[in-house]
Chain A
Amino acid sequence: MIYNIYIFNKDGTCIYYEDWNKKKQSQNQSEDQKLLFGMLYSLKAFITSSSPKKIDDKTGFHCYKTSTYKLHYYETLSCIKFIIMSDPNVPDLRDDLKKIYSQIFVEYVIKNPIYKHGTTVKCDTFINQLNLYLKQMPSFSS
């Protein structure tokens, strides 16, 4: 099942966060978001150094897994980062993250003239479309 989604812009600001199937109450959400961004920044640097072959800075990192969750990662060329946390048995969601970017985020956020870059997304249409898309996925609730 899917636990939450984060969207970060290139400055590391979390511009969208939503959780479902809630299992744990966060003490301080904005601190968690900063910790996650910093951790992913370090993880990408670690991966670049560890790789036996040349690795792309944007498309190199796919996902990581722990005993309780799996983090799926997709970064666009404009450095917008889409992150989904799910349970460990969910297969790779990178294709879904690409669709979320190209079919939902670009259509309802980037093309929205009211939206200011770098601010939190509050667009109802985007939120509705995103929830619609995620909830129709087979791995959303099981």
Chain B
Amino acid sequence: SGGKGESTRTILRVVILFLIAGAAVASRLFSVIRFESIIHEFDPWFNFRATKYLVANGFESFWDWFDDRTWHPLGRVTGGTLYPGLMVTSGVIYHALRALTIPVDIRNICVLLAPAFSGLTAFSAYLLTNEMTTSPSAGLLAAAFMGIAPGYISRSVAGSYDNEAIAIFLLVFTFYLWIKALKLGSMLWGALCALFYGYMVASWGGYAFITCLLPLHAFVLICMGRYSTRLYVSYTTWYALGTLASMQIPFVGFLPVRTSEHMPALGIFGFLQLLAFLDYVRSAIPGRQFQTFLFFSTAGIFGIGLLGLVIATSAGFIAPWGGRFYSLWDTSYAKIHIPIIASVSEHQPTAWPAFFFDLNMLIWLFPAGVYLCFQNLRDEHVFIVVYALFGSYFAGVMVRLMLTLTPVVCVAAAIAVSSILDSYLNAKSPSPEEVAAAEESKPAKQSALKQASKPVVGVYSLLSKTVVTTAMLIYLLIFVLHCTWVTSNAYSSPSVVLASRMPDGSQHIIDDYREAYQWLRQNTKEDAKIMSWWDYGYQIGGMADRPTLVDNNTWNNTHIATVGKAMSSREEVSYPIMRQHEVDYVLVVFGGLLGYSGDDINKFLWMVRIAEGIWPDEVKERDFFTARGEYRIDGEATDTMKNSLMYKMSYYNYNTLFPPGQAVDRVRGARLPDTSPTLNTMEEAFTSENWIIRIYKVKDLDNVGRDHAAA
């Protein structure tokens, strides 16, 4: 009957895992069912465009694709400046489905890629947790948590075709393979770990997290005196193969030997060689003095290595940390030196409610799970502890890194819940007499005092079992409700279409973005250059299919500052800039009529700041504030503000919508003057239904050579 119970359990496991995968996929489909199957947000539009290019032109031309329709007039060497993992994955799926005679549109594959991979993420969380504990339920709980936790759903709903869609699966799976390799001390598992690490490097810039976490884990193990030959085999195999694998990606190239982010991995690699050698010598020659000598020489060489690294970094052989990475340590660095990093909303520190919102009860089970890891501290538990510490720190510094914290929270919380359930869900109660008898029958190795002080442990009463189990069950159910509610209300709205409710409760869709992009696509010539703020670069490239000046890949800060200067200067200054860059149309986003707060007037100060960083004499942030230091757009606004191109383009003819004296900006809550700003160098080409997107055509030079204001 033992065999039969075993097979029943296996079937149950498989069924439960399939149900979890089903729930993970289903809970991500809100936006597809409510709206339609489209790509959301900004970045995914570039990924989608690149995937279409890959599918249409094949892998080789994708690999060295020079894109001349972005960053006009510079262009972008796309093949060497992207992580190709996501596109290649969906390209492979596309061709595999075609080979199976299931021709699916590439857009649907891109939209549904993230939900599909979330099922795999849940499965790898199951595998990872099973390595941590012997409890049969922990893995399944972790899979269930991982499947529906909003912290992960927020980046992987259907339509969110971003790198994180597959990267989190690869992250968790690489960690699983690492733990497996470390436990078995097997080269093959180390090599598998390196291969998946390579895949992760190909997919997401967050691979640096793995590159730093694995050496840190190894280092902590060494410091705890847990160096073993298994650690040597698994780490060095991973490093040797993984580093070579990561260097195959053109975007990464020589970074693994040249930048500071990768130096911990190299340092631990060298340190392990030394340790292995000393370990061998120690086994060869016994002797107490020699061991102390070993200890000191190890510490000494480690110190010298660290010193050499510092010297090499300061001498410039090794590049220092990049700005994005550095701002994780010095949290005020980005705000002072690199406004473009600080201007992104998801690079802000996390507030407390966000942790509860994204993880609900997992966040208070998480420390308990980490504590339980301390109780039987084996090598793999050290990993969870290290990961938990660093994951929490990074998630506290930056909102978007909540994503890398979520896997370890799910694993630790699952360990905590399963240990509660294992203790309280055991139907067989020990009777006190039996326990006492068992205690007495043990050989009297322990001292009498110790035995006397030891309480009789065990859960006896059925009542306490029922109460605790029921409470846990209710929490779990509430967790499911919370996750569904959060996913449905907070994370399932495509930013391309804005949904609002009519007074009778029916849904009203505001579709101005696509209206305007479609207008651009159909009514402008094929190579008309569009100037807009960088936020909309990818969407214009993806939906309107027109060349842009700047886009969300903010690789050239000066070029962005040029656009910022053109937007924030007087027309006489902006017009030559736009002529020089062959701009045909200028696109601004204006939410004043509808109360849409994410518009360009609210982003305007960032344009000013970024432009001021390059031309401090020509653009000054101070000039955009009133004498009392207020940022105003009504009659009291400063002259610099009123004469800036952005202000003029946003409010051009806006007062004609209202009766005299009634023109109101609903976002800023301000009453506007009755006269419209005058635009001399450009003419209004298109304004969408709700005035969210306004497109202006840049006028040609005057026929008889006058300047535009005189003409």
Q: Do A and B bind each other?
A: no
Binding site for A on B (CB under 8 A): none
Binding site for B on A (CB under 8 A): none
